[in-house]
Amino acid sequence: MSDITIGSRHLSPGAKTALGVFARYGTIIGLLAMILAFSLLSPRAFPTVGNFTNVLNQASLAMIIAGGLTLAVTVGELDLSIGFAASLHGILVTGLIVQNQLPIPLAIAIVIALGALIGLINGFIVTKMRVNSVIATLGVGTIITGCAFAYSAGVPIVSGVPEAFLQLSLGRWLFDIPNNIVIMVLVLGGLWVLVERTDIGQQIQAVGGNAAAARLAGINVDRIKTLGFIISGMCAALTGILLASRLGSGTTSAADSYLLTAFAAVFLGSATLRDGEFHILGTLVGALIIAFGFNGLNIFGAPTYSQYIFQGAILIVAVGLSSLGRVLAES
Amino acid sequence: MGTPQAPPFVVVRNVTKSFGGAQALKGVSLDIVPGEVHGLVGANGAGKSTLIRILAGLVHPDGGTVAIDGKPTAIDTPHQATELGMNFIHQELAFIPGMTVLQNIMLGIPKRTRFGLVDWKAIAREVAPIAERVGITAPLGASVKGLSTAENWLINIARALVRKARLIVMDEPTASLSASESEKLFAIVRDLSASGVAVLYVSHRLDEILDLCHRVTVFRDGESVKELAGDTLTRRALVEAIVGGHPPGAAPVRQGTSGGKVVLSVDGVARLPRVRGVSFDLHEGEVLGLGGLVGAGRTELVRLIYGADRADGGRITLDGRPFAPRSPGAAVRAGLGLVPEERRTEGLVLAKSLAFNVGLANLDKLVISPLFRLISPRARANLALETIRALAIKSQGIETPVGRLSGGNQQKVVIGRWLQRAPRVLILDEPTRGVDVGARAEIHRLIRDLAATGQAILVVSSEPDELPDVCDRVLVMAEGRIVKELSGPAVTRGAIVAASYAEGPNTPQERP
């Protein structure tokens, strides 16, 4: 099988190799090309340590939520509840701190536990009730939005947020590196080790690769899928907490848009280095592309609506590249 | 009844077809005359379904001709096959559950419209007599949800008649019908035949073939070896033609005995309708074969033993202790291993590496730190290398995606996964399907070697040639039951095939 068919056209082995290289390295080449282009177009504002740190700092929240989503998609499911959940978590953590006067670490722990619980519920609905994950998590996400409005009555919690909580996201506690970046590196590093270097990670990859084969090899597929949702839920909680800290408020729908960003990052990532497989490092690259893209648009003063167009287009290109990689790998 | 004088509707001459390296059809010929019920029989893999797929326009022959009404015709698409007047009814019936009986009958057929809207009333008036003729009792407007398999067959036949079919191909029509439902179907087949419609009737059940068919073509190993009709059409002649004059093959060395300790004992295990109460003992050091036709319930049985499906009756013991696995994971922990029937869809994660796939069943052995459950890359690599060496797997290295390996090497990876665990019972379902001759011999030798170490092995195979090569004892299944036990020198291809087709207590029964 030296030739493959895309659409109805046959490709020669040479074209196939070229396409394969494009599919594997296209995202990285794209990222570097983008950085180079912006550097040339805006040599003063763009290629500075300050700007790069800023981009990374901004992108860290998206990277954490996308890292969690990577686990959910790796086990072969989609989690659409993460954006809505992160919004709820932001409101809840500020509410617990401001209104219930809970110590900050306790409030954070409670919210992250709730994120895990939401993941557990998603996993239960998908694996035990056999509901398609798109529908299940969309339903759960909508319920969560309802809960968020009920809790906050639609009014942002702004006043009385303690400075200590703001410092969680705004501070630089380690070598003058923004906390967001430190937390992001720790979370993504941990997830990378989990997926690539533990037996649970092997099971996670097996379940996503072929659930039927994984089950017959003795793996508890339902438990692994649920674990994917739980990690996705916990990362959503962390992003929600950091966003509330950065904004200094708990606002309904504040984190909703992270859903789309996370999906774009994850699918761009799956087209990176591996043939359409989801992986943490890829997600990191995907999130960087989106972050630098936004940053460039901002620097050149592009109107806000262009960000949506950019992000929608990226999502489609990402999924296209991802399935191209898979087609090439399987031929 | 077809008359020999009538010009044939379909003439197949010397058709050949190969898939990859395997020659599925080595030259088959067949005539189908209007109004005849033409039987098509042969062992699994004899080429029946390939010929049907060619007639249906799903695959294209490499050589030979297919003539329709005397004109050589290339059937390129299923649509064209329908246009030519051929209709195909498969075991897995195509119908849409949410639609009505009438909508399902009219599926894919251009419909009469009135003011641009489908005129269901007019269509119903036309279809009603056809529905009555084939014996559809449900109202045309009723939903097909909840209708029996038999009624779905009738809907499919009605659809063929609405399309003015001249040939209806029925593939194992009675496989999921009860005895009385089958009788009804036979009456309809006879009625179709009397009205001039030809029926190509594919079945493993020789009783039905003898009862219904005017003429029977027997396929063996991709060739049409015999045409039987009238006086020559007897059960004996059919079995002989299906089995062929194959030499029994060199007598295999059988080290194993059934005198060892009982490892696995299965008692009355059932999951209706496919497994209807099966009992047997598997001994230490024994290779036990499960023979029979596709659909006899063997895969379903081993899935019950392995915990992949839940039994609704019976008891299993493993080393004398009650054993009722709730999942394959539980079965693996208890000391079972399975090499599944479909290695690509059930055995392997194709995009992942050889090391990954071998490691899947051995993760507990690869973990170095119990707290964080890190796996040791070196242990993983060693495991993969050992497996490659033990099984002589040909690959470019342990990180090669298994999807790129040949069928035989892929199968060795699935088997190799279990070697390190040394399970008490290793179950292999079609261990050499789609595997080349060399790898097949190696896998057979490996099975014998494992048995020599005292492992208990259960081998399912639909190839009658395979079981005599590796097994100490063979149980032949039909219709979800064991119909024959063969051991020692009695394990021959002929005996297995004959038992697969045998009548006996296994004649179709009324289902509850």
Domain housing A31: 11-47+271-331
On whether any CB of chain B is under 8 Å from the CB of A197, the answer is yes
Residues A318 and A210 in one domain: no
A300-322 confidence digits (pLDDT tens):
888 888 888 888 888 888 778 77
The answer to whether residues A277 and A329 belong to one domain is yes
Confidence of residue A123 (pLDDT cuts 50, 70, 90): very high
Indicate if the pLDDT at residue B301 is higher than 70: yes
- Residue A193 with chain B: CB contacts under 8 Å: 372, 374
Contact across the interface for B333 and A216, Cβ inside 8 Å: no
Residue A9: its pLDDT value, please?
43
Q: Which residue has the tokens 């040909």?
A: B394
A137 and A224 in a common domain: yes
Residue A156 counted as domain residue: yes
**Is residue A266 in a domain?**
no
Instruction: Write down which residue in A256, A288, A318 finishes a domain.
Output: A256
* CA-based nearest distance A232→chain B, Å: 19
pLDDT for A87 beyond 70: yes
- Does residue B512 register a pLDDT over 70? no
> What pLDDT score does B506 carry?
41
Instruction: Kindly state whether residue A228 falls inside one of the protein's structural domains.
Output: yes
Confidence of residue B53 (pLDDT cuts 50, 70, 90): confident
- Binned at pLDDT 50, 70 and 90, residue B365 comes out as confident
Let me know if residue A115 belongs to a domain.
yes
Do A218 and B332 lie within an 8 Å CB cutoff? yes
Phi-psi region of B287 (alpha: psi -120 to 50; beta: other; left: phi over 0): beta
A137 and A75 within one domain: yes
- Interface contact B373-A330, CB threshold 8 A: no
Write down the pLDDT at residue B221: 82
Q: Homologous superfamily of B10-243 in CATH?
A: P-loop containing nucleotide triphosphate hydrolases (3.40.50.300)
- Whether the per-residue pLDDT at A92 is higher than 80: the answer is yes
Q: How far is B53 from chain A (nearest CA, A)?
A: 22
Q: Indicate if the pLDDT at residue B509 is higher than 90.
A: no
Of the partner residues B347, B356, B372, the one whose CB lies closest to the CB of residue A202: B356
Whose tokens are 């080393």? That residue is B319
Give CA–CA dist A108/A246, Å, rounded: 14
What percent of chain A lies above the pLDDT cut of 90?
40
pLDDT at res. A11: 55
Does A196 share its domain with A85?
Answer: yes
Average pLDDT for A77-87: 93
For tokens 């089950």, the residue is A215
> pLDDT digit string (tens) for A246-283?
988 888 888 888 998 899 899 888 877 777 788 898 89
User: Are B403 and A329 in contact (CB < 8 Å)?
Assistant: yes
Which of A209, A229, A256 is the endpoint of a domain? A256
Domain extents in chain B = 10-243, 251-335+425-430+442-504, 342-422
8 Å CB contact of A329 and B359? no
Tell me: do A206 and A281 sit in the same domain: no
pLDDT in tens, B87-119: 888 766 666 777 888 888 887 777 777 777 777
A127 lies in some domain: yes
pLDDT reported for residue A71 = 95
Residues B171 and B88 sit within 8 Å (Cβ to Cβ):
yes
> Are A39 and A60 contained in the same domain?
no
The pLDDT assigned to A331 comes to 54
pLDDT of A8: 36
A327 contacts on B by Cβ (under 8 Å)? none
pLDDT of A5 over the 60 cut? no
Of all residues in chain B, what percent carry a pLDDT higher than 90? 18
Q: Which of B329, B352, B375 sits opposite A198 (nearest CB)?
A: B375
Flag if A209 and B350 touch (Cβ within 8 Å): yes
Provide ipTM, 2 decimals. Answer: 0.81
Q: Give the range among A164-173, A197-206, B91-100, B193-202 with minimum mean pLDDT.
A: B91-100
Range B146-161 average pLDDT: 80
**The pLDDT value given to residue B103:** 82
Which residues of chain A make contact with B360, given a CB cutoff of 8 A? Answer: 202-203, 206, 213-214, 217-219
**Residues of chain B with C-beta less than 8 angstroms from the C-beta of A224:** none
Tell me what percent of chain B is helix, strand and coil, each rounded to the nearest 5: 35, 25, 40
Other Cβ atoms within 10 Å of B396 Cβ, number: 10
Q: Is residue A5 part of a domain?
A: no
Whether residue A250 is found in the same domain as residue A225: yes
Q: Within an 8 Å CB–CB cutoff, is residue A329 touching chain B? A: yes
Asked whether the beta carbons of residue A218 and residue B352 sit closer than 8 angstroms, the reply is no
* Alpha carbon of B395: minimum distance to chain A alpha carbons (Å): 17
Last residue of a domain, one of A228, A256, A284: A256
Which of B345, B352, B373 is closest, CB to CB, to A198? B373
Query: How far is A326 from chain B, CA to nearest CA, in Å?
Result: 9
Nearest-Cα distance to chain B for A45, in Å, is: 43
Considering the segment(s) B251-335+425-430+442-504 as one domain, its CATH architecture is 3-Layer(aba) Sandwich (3.40)
One-character DSSP codes across B412-461? HHHHHHHHTT--SEEEEESTTTT--HHHHHHHHHHHHHHHHTT-EEEEE-
Helices (H), ranges, chain A: 13-41, 49-74, 82-98, 104-127, 133-152, 163-170, 179-197, 199-209, 211-216, 221-247, 258-270, 280-299, 305-330
Could you tell me what percent of chain B has a pLDDT over 70?
90
Interchain proximity B331–A200, CB inside 8 Å: no
* Most confident of the ranges A303-307, B63-67, B462-466: B63-67
For A275, the closest of B351, B363, B372 (CB atoms) is B351
In the structure, what pLDDT confidence band is assigned to residue B511 with cuts at 50, 70 and 90?
Answer: very low
Residue A232, pLDDT score: 96
* For range B379-388, the mean pLDDT: 89
| Lowest-confidence pick of A146-160, A224-238, B439-453 | A146-160
Residue B459's pLDDT is what?
A: 94
pLDDT score recorded for residue A34: 85
Please check whether residue A135 touches B, CB under 8 A: no
Could you tell me the pLDDT band of residue A233, with boundaries at 50, 70 and 90?
A: very high
B411-427 average pLDDT score:
90
Q: Do A217 and B364 touch (CB under 8 A)?
A: no
Q: Which residues pair with B375 in a beta bridge?
A: B367
Measured between CB atoms, which of B349, B361, B375 is closest to A210?
A: B349
Contact B328 A193 (CB under 8 A): no
**Quick check: B347 and A213 CB within 8 A?**
yes
With a cut of 90, say whether residue A224 has pLDDT above it: yes
What pLDDT sits at residue B259? Answer: 64
pLDDT at residue A6, rounded to an integer: 42
Q: Inter-chain contact B328–A200, Cβ cutoff 8 Å?
A: no
Question: Stretch B256-285: mean pLDDT, rounded?
Answer: 84
Mean pLDDT of B341-358: 88
The first and second tokens of residue A200, run together, are: 């649970």
Mean pLDDT of B221-239: 85
DSSP of B71-132, one letter per residue?
Answer: EE----SHHHHHHTTEEEE-SS----TTSBHHHHHTTTS---EETTEE-HHHHHHHHHHHHH
For the residues B321-325, what does the mean pLDDT come to?
91
Q: Are residues A229 and A128 in the same domain?
A: yes
Task: Say whether B251-335+425-430+442-504 and B10-243 share the same fold.
Answer: yes
Q: Model confidence over A94-114: pLDDT tens digits?
A: 988 888 888 989 999 999 999
What's the average model confidence in pLDDT over B197-203? 90
Q: Is the model's pLDDT at B246 over the cut of 80? A: no
Q: Do B349 and A209 touch (CB under 8 A)?
A: yes
User: Looking at beta carbons, which residues of chain A come within 8 Å of B430?
Assistant: none
Q: Give the mean pLDDT of A136-152.
A: 90
Domain count for chain A, please give it.
Answer: 2
Q: Do A210 and B348 touch (CB under 8 A)?
A: yes
pLDDT of residue B2: 44
Flag whether pLDDT at A85 surpasses 50.
yes
Average pLDDT value over all residues in chain B: 83
Residue whose C-alpha is closest to residue B88's, from B153, B137, B26, B13: B153
Q: Which residues of B touch A (CB under 8 A)?
A: 306, 308, 327-329, 331-333, 338, 340, 345-352, 356, 359-361, 363-364, 366-367, 372-375, 377, 401, 403, 417
Q: Verify cis geometry, omega within 30 degrees of 0, for the bond prior to A47.
A: no
pLDDT tens for B20-31 read 666 788 889 999
Q: Which of A58-67, B78-87, B174-183 has the lowest mean pLDDT?
A: B174-183
**What strand order describes the sheet that includes B215-220?**
B71-72, B63-68, B10-19, B22-32, B223-229, B215-220, B37-41, B198-202, B167-171, B86-89
More confident position, B510 or B183 = B183
CB contact under 8 A, B328 and A197: no
Per-range mean pLDDT, top range of A231-240, B123-132, B182-191: A231-240
* Per-residue CA distances from B455 to B286, B421, B446 (Å): 7, 11, 12
The alpha carbon of residue B338 is apart from the nearest alpha carbon of chain A, in Å, by 7
Does pLDDT of B349 surpass 50?
A: yes
Query: B329 vs A200: CB contact, 8 Å cut-off?
Result: no
